[in-house]
Structure formats: structure tokens, C-alpha cells
Amino acid sequence: MSYKPIIFCCLSLFALRASAQMERTVYQVFEVDSIQTVTLDIVGYTYPELHVWAGSSILTEANIQVWDASPEIVNYLIEQGRYAFDSEKTTDALRIFTKVRKREDIKLPGMPKKCVEQTTIKVFVPDIYDWNPAEWTPEQTDKPKTLRRKTN
């Protein structure tokens, strides 16, 4: 029996470059106090989900997946605010919005192709707000969504 094919296969495995996926989750909290209207202006995320909870604040959970990037690169992108949200508050309204409105492709020097990136977002909203389910369909992904405080 010849061991050459087995040795060749084993050596070939070492020569192939594995496509590693880095994944991180980033959380942000926004206090709503007595806010009557909240506008969520979230762009650049796929699969936005709304979850109702008994909390007294809005929580965003951004899940970031990047292929062909090291953990240091993903951490750097997070530190630079690539996936961060900001807010503007007036007397009775709050606007939560994506800081980086258009993300450039992740292409590292010396790499023949760009890194594949997928970002998803979950928004946890206090149960004191009403929303329009039609705003949370896939066709409405990058459009603002409005939450209104329930009237008693």
C-alpha cells in the first residue's frame, strides 16, 4: 500500500488557508425617562429585530461577523465606532441613530479580496411603547422606525 496519497492530502490541508470568522456582540443602552416619541434611525444592519421587555430603557444588541479578519481588526473597528449608535434628545422625543451611516468595505493591505461582513441588530424596547409592525419588515430595513408611548 502506498502512503504517498495520504501524505499528499495531509500536506495539502496545511497549504489551504482557512477562512476564519470573527464574531462580536456590542450593547448600548439609552434611557427614555418620560420620552413620548422615539425614532430609531438605524442603517447598515441586516435582519433588524424588535423585542419588547419590561425594562425602562432601550437596549441595542449589534452582532458583528467578519470573515478573513483577525480579532485585533474586529476590535479596532468596534473601537472606532463603526457599529456604534448615538442619540439626540429633545423635551419629549429621542432619536437613536447609526453613527457611521455608510460603512466602507473592509480591505486590508496585501489581501486580494475584501472581508465579508454581516451585521444584525436587535432592539429591546420597554413595554410602555407602541410601534407599527409594518416598519419592521425586510423592505423597511434602512428606514426610520417610530415608537410612541402608550396612552393610558
Query: Using an 8 Å Cβ cutoff, are 135 and 41 in contact?
Result: no
Distance from C-alpha of 96 to C-alpha of 98, rounded to nearest angstrom? 7
pTM, entire model: 0.81
**Single-letter residue type at 31:** E
Q: How far is CA 57 from the centre of its chain?
A: 19
Cα end-to-end span (Å), the chain: 82
Q: What is the pLDDT of residue 8?
A: 44
- Using pLDDT thresholds of 50, 70 and 90, give the confidence band for residue 7: very low
Confidence of residue 19 (pLDDT cuts 50, 70, 90): low
**What span, in angstroms and rounded, lies between the C-alpha atoms of 93 and 37?**
5
pLDDT digits (tens, 9 = 90+) for 47-90: 789 999 998 999 999 999 999 888 988 999 999 999 999 999 99
> What are phi and psi for residue 79, nearest 5 degrees?
-60, -30
The residue extents of the domains of the chain are 19-149
